Structure 1
Amino acid sequence: MPLKIKYTVVLFFLVLIICTTGNTQTTEQNFDCLKIDNQGLLKQSFDSFEKDLFHHYKFNNDTIKTYQTFLNEVYSLSINLRELPSKNSIQLARIYKKKATDRNSLWVLLSQYDEELIASQNTTTPKANQQKEGEVLTFNYRGGFIQCLKNNSNSEGFKDIVNTLELDGNVSPSLIAQRLHDLPRDEFNTHEVKSFIAFDIYYSILLVIEKAFG
């Protein structure tokens, strides 16, 4: 084979490898963590959350202003929880609440969450738990969904928030809302951060107040 043709063939394969690698990396970075739920409950919940948000604040399509206003009202404790949530979002919150005894659910018993941390340090197996009336629930920061959000995010600030919460899940949504609100604009306006806000802030609040809606 002539030398010129050899170089052409080698160059072709190099370009092909680079393009393939680039496409793979883009796919990994753009993975939608809402799709890890085969039943579609995560996607349904996120859509219901955004519908509630944009209907309530009426900032047209200004996503950042809508989300940041919501977070501002959460951490300033001025949010109107009587008007914001829809019946659909309340029903979805109740579904998550019923699943809270499952270690793989989005919310788990706080006592179980603490036991699992101790167990991971002592290499012992945590006991199974049954939800008791009035027992505190916490978002499962060590679960597959939140880990997916963290691993797919390019925001070091967001990852730092999650890492902190993995060690202590008993943190007020208002404090979490303030830290999220203060993320740089380019880090804030991402699908991972918005998904986190939907579940860890919005639905965590609804799990607490859902009984007030009859």
Structure 2
Amino acid sequence: MPQMIRSRIAIIAFLFFTVISHAQSGINCLTVDSSGLYSKAFNSFEKDLFEHYNFGNDSIKTYRTFLAEVASLSLDLRKLPSDNSIQLARTFKKKSSDPNSIWVKLSEYENQEATKKTSPSTTPNQGEEEILIFNYRGGLIQCLKNNSNSDDFQNIISTLEQDGNVSTSLIAQRIYYIPDDRFKADEIKKFIAFDIYYSILMVIEKAFG
């Protein structure tokens, strides 16, 4: 095979795999929701964050400051959330009984694992409000996990798949220490938006009238 033809084939092959790799890493996991609700929620979250911390376009500093305040329980929840984000949190809360919801009842989540382990199931006491947790076994989170290049992030999700009853502050602390080159990825930002920000807002939304 002439050298020129071999070189041309090599270039075409390189371009092909580059395009495929870019396409795979450029998946927008928010499109698992065809209604556009996830995208609206993520945009509202980022708007709240950047307006509150006012670090310009420095996304790493903005996100890390947010996580540090969540981890230290010093987040000012009177000033951070916008009315729009509160309303979106209420929408997510109402949808928690849907089969494909990204938040599920803690009792149901634990019962799924208990069934696999043939252990006693967990049920809430009568009259108690159901605790909602992020559905770590659902479509959105699995998309974020599978498209992430961070082993640290994937390990965090794998742990949460087994036991989702982990404090938000502890999750924030673990995410905080992911190295910058992985931390800035869209998958991690979207995880922070839903599992941390909106999970908090669904707990406090009643305080906003």
With the length of structure 2 as denominator, give the TM-score of the two structures. Answer: 0.90
Aligned counterparts of 1:25 and 1:118: Cα–Cα separation in 2: 39
The DSSP-based 3-state class of the residue aligned with 2:133 is strand
Give yes or no for the alignment of 1:48 onto 2:29: no
Aligned counterparts of 1:87 and 1:120: Cα–Cα separation in 2: 41
The DSSP-based 3-state class of the residue aligned with 2:97 is coil
Give yes or no for the alignment of 1:156 onto 2:151: yes
Aligned counterparts of 1:57 and 1:13: Cα–Cα separation in 2: 50
User: What is residue 60 of structure 1 aligned with on the other side?
Assistant: 56
- Counterpart residue identity of residue 50, structure 1: E
- Counterpart residue identity of residue 142, structure 1: R
Query: Which has the higher mean CA deviation after the structures are superposed, 195-204 or 101-110?
Result: 101-110
- Counterpart residue identity of residue 21, structure 1: F
Aligned counterparts of 2:91 and 2:128: Cα–Cα separation in 1: 16
Aligned counterparts of 2:14 and 2:204: Cα–Cα separation in 1: 52
User: What is residue 38 of structure 1 aligned with on the other side?
Assistant: 34
Report Cα offsets for 1:12-49 as digits up to 9, x if no partner: 44533332222112110121112222111111101000
User: What is residue 135 of structure 1 aligned with on the other side?
Assistant: 130
User: What is residue 111 of structure 1 aligned with on the other side?
Assistant: 107
Larger Rg: 1
User: What is residue 16 of structure 1 aligned with on the other side?
Assistant: 12
1:75, distance to aligned residue in structure 2 (A): 0.9
User: What is residue 77 of structure 1 aligned with on the other side?
Assistant: 73
Unaligned ranges ≥5, structure 1: 127-131
Aligned counterparts of 1:72 and 1:10: Cα–Cα separation in 2: 53
Aligned counterparts of 2:69 and 2:8: Cα–Cα separation in 1: 56
Give yes or no for the alignment of 1:179 onto 2:174: yes
1:119, distance to aligned residue in structure 2 (A): 3.5
Aligned counterparts of 1:74 and 1:28: Cα–Cα separation in 2: 32
User: What is residue 82 of structure 2 aligned with on the other side?
Assistant: 86
User: What is residue 193 of structure 2 aligned with on the other side?
Assistant: 198
Report Cα offsets for 1:129-160 as digits up to 9, x if no partner: xxx86111110000010010011110001111
Aligned counterparts of 1:42 and 1:19: Cα–Cα separation in 2: 33
- Counterpart residue identity of residue 134, structure 1: E
- Counterpart residue identity of residue 65, structure 1: K
Aligned counterparts of 1:22 and 1:64: Cα–Cα separation in 2: 27
User: What is residue 129 of structure 1 aligned with on the other side?
Assistant: none
Report Cα offsets for 1:58-93 as digits up to 9, x if no partner: 111111111111111111111110111000000100
Aligned counterparts of 2:14 and 2:69: Cα–Cα separation in 1: 47
Aligned counterparts of 1:111 and 1:34: Cα–Cα separation in 2: 26
Residues 133 and 103 (structure 1 numbering): CA distance in 2 closer, same or farther, change over 3 Å? farther
The DSSP-based 3-state class of the residue aligned with 1:59 is coil
- Counterpart residue identity of residue 186, structure 1: D
Count, aligned residues:
202
Aligned counterparts of 2:176 and 2:44: Cα–Cα separation in 1: 21
User: What is residue 167 of structure 1 aligned with on the other side?
Assistant: 162
With the length of structure 1 as denominator, give the TM-score of the two structures. Answer: 0.88
Residues 104 and 63 (structure 1 numbering): CA distance in 2 closer, same or farther, change over 3 Å? same
The DSSP-based 3-state class of the residue aligned with 2:104 is strand
Q: CA RMSD in A?
A: 1.9
